[in-house]
Amino acid sequence: MPAPSSYTEETLAQYMLDTLKNIAVDLDWLDTTPGTGSYVEPVNDVEVALGVSDVAESAAPVALVRLQADVAAWRSALEAYTTAYYVGGLSRTLHREQLWDHCRAMLAMAEGALAAYLAEEVAVDSGVVGATAGSGYVPITFVW
């Protein structure tokens, strides 16, 4: 199935649900209804980041919308798992902090992908040699 060429609030919420997968199931974040569902605030975060009141009106590239949605979804999941507790029974145990650690790692990856995209966009806009849209250009930073 090809990637969408644009998003509505509902389709963006569904994208976030698909991104979180089992985490969404564990959090019982299965409602993607605009305005009342589990993803109201993460969708709002994307709209604020894009500077629009409705994602359907955004002229931002779909890749940027998706990267912003990844960050918003994982950040929200991380916030939901902030309180760690232990659940055990039979021969199965689950430590909530393990899920928090997973969300933290996924959020870091999403933020890194977003930062790389934005760095490429700045490089292209600035006319940096070798930087073209979609080239994967990432500036190298040396730390001394």
String of DSSP letters for 93-130 = EEEHHHHHHHHHHHHHHHHHHHHHHHHHHHHHHHT-TT
Give mean pLDDT, residues 65-74: 95
The tens digit of pLDDT for each residue in 2-46 reads 889 999 999 999 999 999 999 999 889 999 998 888 999 999 999
The tens digit of pLDDT for each residue in 80-120 reads 887 656 566 665 565 677 788 888 899 999 999 898 888 88
What is the band of 79 on the pLDDT scale with cuts at 50, 70, 90?
confident
* Residues recorded for the chain: 144
pTM above 0.85, yes or no: no
Two tokens, residue 131:
């930087």
